[in-house]
Amino acid sequence: MSAPARSLLKTTRPSLLRSAFPAARFSSTSAKPVTLKERLAELIPKEIENVKAARLEHGKKSFGPVIVDQLYGGMRGLPALIWDGSVLDADEGIRFRGKTIPECQELLPKAPGGSEPLPEGLFWLLVTGEIPTQEQVAELSRDWAARSAIPEFVEEILDRCPPTLHPMSQFSLAVTALNHNSAFAKAYQDGIPKKEYWGPTFEDSMDLIAKLPNIAGRIYRNVFGQGKLPAIDANKDYSHNLATLLGFGSNEAFVELLRLYITIHSDHEGGNVSAHTGKLVGSALSDPFLAYSAALNGLAGPLHGLANQEVLIWLRKMQSQIGEDASDEAVKEYIWATLKGGKVVPGYGHAVLRKTDPRYAAQREFALKHLPDDKLFKLVGQIYNLVPDILLEAGKAKNPWPNVDAHSGVLLTHYGMDQMQFYTVLFGVSRAFGVAAQLIWDRALGAPLERPKSYSTAAIKKMFADKP
Long-range CB contacts (within 8 A, 24+) of 420-423? 420/309, 420/312, 420/313, 421/166, 421/167, 421/223, 421/309, 422/167, 422/219, 422/220, 422/223, 422/224, 423/305, 423/308, 423/309
Residue type for 447, please? A
- Residue 363, C-beta contacts closer than 8 angstroms, at least 6 positions apart: 260, 264, 404, 407, 408, 411
* CA quadruple 4, 8, 12, 15: dihedral, nearest 10: 90
Query: How many angstroms separate the CA atoms of 399 and 351, rounded?
Result: 9
Which of these is catalytic: 143, 405, 414, 442? 405
- Please work out, in degrees rounded to the nearest 5, the angle formed at the alpha carbon of residue 376 by the alpha carbons of 373 and 380: 100
Question: Bridge-partner residues for 96, per DSSP?
Answer: 86, 99
Catalytic site includes residue 304? yes
Query: How many angstroms separate the CA atoms of 401 and 406, rounded?
Result: 10
Please list, residue by residue across 69-91, b when 16 or more beta carbons sit within 10 angstroms of its beta carbon and e when fewer do: eeeeeeeebbeeeebbbbebeee
Strands 99-100 and 93-96, bridge-based pairing: antiparallel
Query: How many angstroms separate the CA atoms of 257 and 262, rounded?
Result: 9
Query: How many angstroms separate the CA atoms of 356 and 402, rounded?
Result: 6
H helix or E strand, kind and range, residue 157:
helix 152-160
* CA quadruple 401, 357, 242, 138: dihedral, nearest 10: 170
SS3 336: helix
- Residue 145, C-beta contacts closer than 8 angstroms, at least 6 positions apart: 210, 232, 233, 234, 236, 241
Phi, psi of 438 (to 5 degrees): -70, -35
Query: How many angstroms separate the CA atoms of 436 and 291, rounded?
Result: 9
Catalytic site includes residue 370? no
Question: Bridge-partner residues for 88, per DSSP?
Answer: 94
Which of these is catalytic: 240, 268, 276, 350? 350
Catalytic site includes residue 350? yes
The residues carrying an active-site annotation are 304, 350, 405
